[in-house]
Amino acid sequence: MTPPLLSVKDLTVRFKVRGAAPFREAAYLTAVDGVTFDVARGESLGIVGESGSGKSTTALAIARLITHHSGEVRLDGEDLLALKGGDLRRARRKFQFIFQDPYSSLNPRRRAAEIVTEPLASIGLVPKGDRRKLVDDLFEAVGLRPEQQNLFPHQFSGGQRQRIGIARALAPNPALVICDEAVSALDVAVQAQILNLLRRLQRERGLTYLFISHDLGVVQHMCDRIAVMYMGKIVEFADRLSLFNSPLHPYTCALLSAVPSVDPDRRARTKRILITGEPPSPTSPPPGCRFASRCPVAEPRCKTEPPPLREVREGHRVACHLVGDDARAPV
């Protein structure tokens, strides 16, 4: 087996909670708690979860855009979390980021071509003379016209801006592209254009995607394997068909059943599992399973004993006490 392109081990990110009284120990919010997964070369790995699940924080920590607490992130064998200064900046060409908001992610004072070549200028990768050709190629690849290169961001529509963001990410020819809610801010019709573009680029350039989204429909369409996160932990991890056709964790089941669908068959057959209440406070998570307080089938031990993430089927891992070795969903 070939080694994975990206390997994340026990990644933990925590934030100091502001407003702690003096002389009292600072409170921490653990946004990502011991997350471990691998991404194979050329695949798309999805991370889904609701707000506060830590999915975006995971992406930002892997991309070294926020400070991590502990863990290991290896890209092509190189430990990204250990890199500093110039080494880190040079390594950035191998992993690029596509941001959620096409309006705030482009510098309003730079022309489109300058934005796209920003990674090259920063890393000093391509000599100035060759950049023109590269920009032409990138603009064509993402479906923008060459005469648009000299426009400023506000002269583009939201979808076109996201294309610029994609071209910028592709400029240094990265191996890994992290898409953090890359289509969430777009209108549905434009969203389809961007999703198709991302898939085409993946086929053509052999890209590996780490795809963060709250939209299960989009993740289902884009990703080969999917991790479901809840309050900083991965609760379920499986390949696409296994996860969507036979989800195991009660939270995943509830999440899937909550998605409104146009498919009358699906509407008729899915019984909605309504989860009630609110997630517990992230600053003092419960000792056991973090979903226990809202879980429809929780048992006493769920509240005290944290369930380990274990493999119950080939390639299907779940963190739930109630999933037996027969791999049947408890709800």
Site string for other proteins, 113-132 (x = CB under 8 A): -----xx--xx---------
Element (H, E) at 47: strand 44-48
Q: What sign results for the dihedral spanned by CA atoms 194, 200, 201, 203?
A: positive
Closest by Cα among 251, 275, 266 to 323: 251
Show contacts with other proteins in window 261-280 (CB under 8 A).
261-267, 269, 272, 274-278
Comparing CB distances to other proteins, the nearer of 132 and 145 is 145
Looking at 41, 69, 90, 313, which residue binds other proteins (CB under 8 A)? 90
Report the distance separating Cα 322 and Cα 320, nearest Å.
5
Tokens of 37: 């997964």
Cα–Cα distances (Å) from 165 to 139, 153, 184, 235, in that order, read 11, 10, 14, 31
Q: How many CB atoms lie within 10 A of CB 274?
A: 9
Shortest distance in whole angstroms from residue 56 CB to other proteins: 12
168 is a contact residue toward other proteins (CB under 8 A): yes
Shortest distance in whole angstroms from residue 229 CB to other proteins: 12
Query: Which window, 6-14, 15-23, 74-82, 89-97, contacts other proteins (CB under 8 A)?
Result: 89-97
227 is a contact residue toward other proteins (CB under 8 A): no
190 is a contact residue toward other proteins (CB under 8 A): yes
Show contacts with other proteins in window 297-326 (CB under 8 A).
none
Residue pair 128/117 in contact (Cβ under 8 Å)? The answer is no
Tokens of 173: 């020819």
Query: Which window, 128-136, 157-165, 284-292, 316-324, contacts other proteins (CB under 8 A)?
Result: 157-165
108 is a contact residue toward other proteins (CB under 8 A): yes
Q: Helix crossing, 158-170 with 128-141: angle to 10°?
A: 130
Residue pair 64/6 in contact (Cβ under 8 Å)? The answer is no
Query: Which window, 18-26, 131-139, 250-258, 299-307, contacts other proteins (CB under 8 A)?
Result: 250-258
6 is a contact residue toward other proteins (CB under 8 A): no
Shortest distance in whole angstroms from residue 2 CB to other proteins: 22
Show contacts with other proteins in window 39-78 (CB under 8 A).
50-51, 63, 65
Show contacts with other proteins in window 15-44 (CB under 8 A).
none
Partners of 210 in the β-ladder: 45, 178
